[in-house]
Amino acid sequence: MVWSDPEIKRLSKEFVTVADEAYRLYPEWEGHLRDAAQRPDHVFFKRFGEQMPAGDWNRKGTKQGIYMIGPDAEYLEGRFAASGEPADVRARLRRALERWDALREEKGYANRPVPPKPWAPPPGVEGELVLRVNVRDLPRGAGDRSGARRHEVAESRMWLDFTKWAWNEGWVAIDRARSLVPTGRAEEPVDPAVWRQVVREAFVDTVRGQAPEWKDEEVREARVTMRRREDGRIEYRGSFRAEGGGRAFSGKVYGQGVWDDSKGAFVELDIVALGERSGKAQFNQRENDFGPAPMGVTLSLSRS
Amino acid sequence: MVSCLVALLALSSPEPDAGNYRSWLRFVQPDAREQAYKEIDWRTSLREGMAEARALGRPILLWTMNGHPLGCT
């Protein structure tokens, strides 16, 4: 991915760096587009797009891409679907900064240093306990490379290459962190409502692309118990099954956590879910991979 | 590590336990190279970026995907 390129990382420091959802910024369906028409971020992005050269802006379709934009939506550079070629992005960043030098002089932009941004949960992810969710395919037997890292896989420059190394990351927020802390020494169930929420929101096949959360009635099983070990660590064991809408995912769960009473918070928490998935969602690129096939989901306190 | 995990998969459906869960964590979670994008300080909404860009008089670098790039969907 382009963001590991050292020169791109260096050049990015000249910008206010923003990541956002393309469909929300510029919906393709007429109804959603009408709803977005007066939203300031859509208006801003649309104004920018109207200045883009025809070949670099996907006028009738998705606006996924990398774009360099002035403070008043001025065109600097950019291209739709531009996240695979570091050399191209480097060149566009350099051209953008050349245009920026002229623009800021013309308009008197202050060009103050961009301050670092401390990590915070994404908008809408709110709760006492915010866990990072990762999902990846697992190997399907001897010789199978499912779940490999991108640098371990030969590329053929075809778009579907990404399915060879795909993985995804999201977040799940639990309102009350203590709902994952045993009250005594005996094994006890985690609040079923909490665990159902986790299964519904986090145990979703997004390895290759977007997929909706499970509906509540599609979570057929969600059971996890917790107990305090002799060493004070908390151990989680359980199982889950979700099925509906032409897809399914079921398996087993194991994890460990460390709760610090003095802080009233977890200082360590890692949970692994391994199981078998099948079927597809509309946008998760499983048309040629219905399964069943193994998939792993992890939940972690650590952000990286 | 990977060969041990693959051998485990070949025997039966994988099941995490105290002995292997850290290996599975490492397998599923992205490594440092895969997480290089986190070394950039991403604002998570264009609205936030617009306000900051105007205040600083700086341009915006926008990375946008169907499905928020940072998993913020």
Residue-wise pLDDT for A135-153, tens only, equals 999 999 888 888 888 777 7
Alpha-carbon span A92 to A53, nearest angstrom: 13
Q: Using an 8 Å Cβ cutoff, are A58 and A81 in contact?
A: yes
E-assigned strand segments in chain A: 16-21, 65-69, 75-80, 129-137, 167-174, 188-189, 219-228, 234-244, 247-260, 265-279, 293-300
Q: What stretches in chain A show pLDDT beneath 70?
A: 1, 83, 155-159
Chain A partners within 8 Å of B39 (Cβ) = 3, 9
Domain boundaries, chain B: 2-56
Supply the ipTM of this predicted assembly.
0.84
Residue B55 binned pLDDT confidence (cut-offs 50, 70, 90): very high
pLDDT on residue A214: 98
Is there a contact between B31 and A20 if contact means CB atoms under 8 Å apart?
no
pLDDT on residue B10: 47
Q: What pLDDT, in 10s, does the model give residues B6-52?
A: 555 544 567 999 999 999 999 999 998 888 888 899 999 999 999 99
Chain B partners within 8 Å of A20 (Cβ) = 44-46, 49, 62-64, 68-69
Among A111, A146, A57, smallest CA distance to B10 is for: A146
From the list B34, B40, B71, which residue is nearest A12 (CB)?
A: B40
A252 phi and psi angles, rounded to 5 deg: -120, 160
Residue B5 binned pLDDT confidence (cut-offs 50, 70, 90): low
- What percentage of chain A's residues is helix, strand, coil (to nearest 5)? 25, 30, 40
Is there a contact between A296 and B68 if contact means CB atoms under 8 Å apart?
no
Among B47, B48, B44, smallest CA distance to B73 is for: B44
Q: What pLDDT, in 10s, does the model give residues A39-64?
A: 999 999 999 999 999 889 988 888 99
Kindly give, in sequence order, each residue whose CB lies less than 8 Å from that of residue B13, ignoring residues fewer than 6 positions away.
A251, A274, A275, A276, A294
